[in-house]
Amino acid sequence: MRSAWAAAWVAVAVLLLAPAAAEAADAPLPVRIRVLHGSRQGTPGVPPGLEDLRGQLSATAYVRWEQAGEVQASMVPKKPVPVSLPGGESVTVTLIDSRSGAATFEVSAPSSRTQSRVTVAPGKRIVQQVSAERGGSAWFVTIRAGG
């Protein structure tokens, strides 16, 4: 009888502690980062590869979109990932935290002297303009945790 109760309580304790232990492991987080070019002029269009972003992109004043690059990385907290922009500029994306079912990223864009810290729930994407608009167009990065 005692052993049955002991086994039952051990099972409950293991089940209760397992999620916390898994979270504490800080496993690398697969992240997909895409570099986009958005223009206010030109024929409106979103390429097939950016269809998943159409909802967000259509909320902006930019009508013509093109993908200029992509980085897929297994990010660990506090380790920046550089993302090159056409023209020699670059931005850095840093995973700050990925616990509690959400991921926090820091995006630093030296060219626009802009820094952001964004926390998103799983499945959500960040679309961030990383260069000031010039001539009706600008550079953007999109970040999605989970690849």
Partner 1 sequence: MKCAGAAPLLGSRPGELDPAEEAALSAHLSTCEACRARQADQDALARVVENGLLGEAARRDFSSFADGVMARIPASAWQGAATPGLLGRLLELFRRHRVLATASALAPALAALALYLYIGRTTGTGAVEFSVEVTSEDLAPMVLDTSDGPIILVGEASDGT
Cα–Cα distance measured from residue 80 to residue 96, given in angstroms and rounded to the nearest whole number: 9
Cα–Cα distance for residue pair 38/50, rounded to 1 Å: 12
Residue 78 in contact with residue 68, Cβ under 8 Å?
Answer: no
**Which of 88, 123 has the CB closer to partner 1?**
123
Nearer to partner 1, 51 or 70 (CB): 51
Pick 66 or 106: Cβ nearer partner 1 = 106
CB of 136 to partner 1, least distance (A): 9
CB of 128: closest distance to partner 1 in angstroms?
4
Closest CB 79 distance from partner 1, rounded Å: 20
Q: Distance (Å, rounded) from C-alpha 22 to C-alpha 121?
A: 18
Judge whether 50 and 94 are in contact, CB under 8 Å: no
CB 52 within 8 A of CB 65: no
Contacts with partner 1 by CB under 8 A lie at 1, 4-5, 7-8, 11-12, 15-16, 19, 53, 55-56, 59-60, 100-102, 109, 112-134, 138
